[in-house]
């Protein structure tokens, strides 16, 4: 999370939205640097938010999946039965830092998360017994 915070601070300090008026190359470098960092964060966060990371991967214009086809499976161990996330790897893909190239065409982004209304939160809490 510190890296994500550092990227936000980097953008605040360099303010490419203002710098673009006087230094287009500098603004472009700032945006590219931030996108490279976010692209690598996507890989680091993938074990925790795999579907969101995969969606972000698509926004960055990659045509192959982030780490393969995702699916869930029931696994039984000494504690009980659990639903786990698995993936079928794609030949040649591996977990690695950003491969974002300067000038790479990005796809139209969209929201990564859905805002939950307070009523939904309350209902989920009731369902969980809180």
pLDDT digits (tens, 9 = 90+) for 6-23: 999 999 999 999 999 999
Q: What is the pLDDT of residue 129?
A: 84
CB 71 within 8 A of CB 88: yes
pLDDT at 126 over 80: yes
CA distance 32 to 60: 12
Q: What is the pLDDT of residue 87?
A: 80
Q: What is the pLDDT of residue 63?
A: 86
Q: What is the pLDDT of residue 70?
A: 79
Three-state DSSP state, 15? coil
pLDDT tens digits for range 28-66: 999 999 999 999 999 889 888 988 999 999 999 998 888
**Cα torsion 69, 70, 71, 72: sign:** positive
Predicted TM-score of the model (pTM): 0.74
Q: Please state the domain count of the chain.
A: 1
* Structural domain range at position 44: 2-128
- Give, as one character, the DSSP assignment of residue 82: E
Q: Per-residue pLDDT averaged across 65-93, rounded?
A: 85
Q: How many CB atoms lie within 10 A of CB 24?
A: 11
Whose tokens are 């192959």? That residue is 64
CA proximity to 37, closest of 112, 126, 97 = 97
Predicted confidence band of residue 96 (pLDDT cuts 50, 70, 90)? confident
pLDDT at 92 over 90: no
CATH of the domain at 103: 1.10.730.10
pLDDT tens digits for range 21-30: 999 999 999 9
Tokens for 109? 């982004």
Judged by phi (left if over 0) then psi (alpha if -120 to 50, else beta), residue 77 lies in beta
Half-sphere exposure of residue 97, counting CA atoms within 13 Å on the CB side? 4
User: What value does the mean pLDDT of the chain take?
Assistant: 89
Angle between helices 24-45 and 50-59 (to 10 degrees): 150
């Amino acid at each position: 999370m510190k890296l994500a915070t550092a990227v936000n601070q980097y953008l605040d300090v360099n303010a490419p939205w203002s710098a673009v008026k006087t230094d287009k190359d500098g603004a472009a470098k700032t945006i590219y640097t931030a996108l490279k960092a976010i692209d690598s964060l996507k890989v680091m966060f993938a074990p925790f938010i795999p579907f969101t990371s995969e969606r972000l991967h698509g926004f960055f214009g990659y045509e192959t999946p982030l780490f393969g086809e995702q699916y869930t499976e029931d696994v039984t161990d000494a504690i009980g039965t659990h639903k786990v996330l698995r993936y079928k790897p794609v030949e040649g893909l591996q977990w690695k830092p950003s491969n974002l190239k300067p000038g790479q065409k990005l796809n139209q982004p969209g929201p990564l998360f859905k805002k939950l209304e307070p009523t939904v939160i309350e209902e989920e809490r009731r369902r969980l017994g809180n």
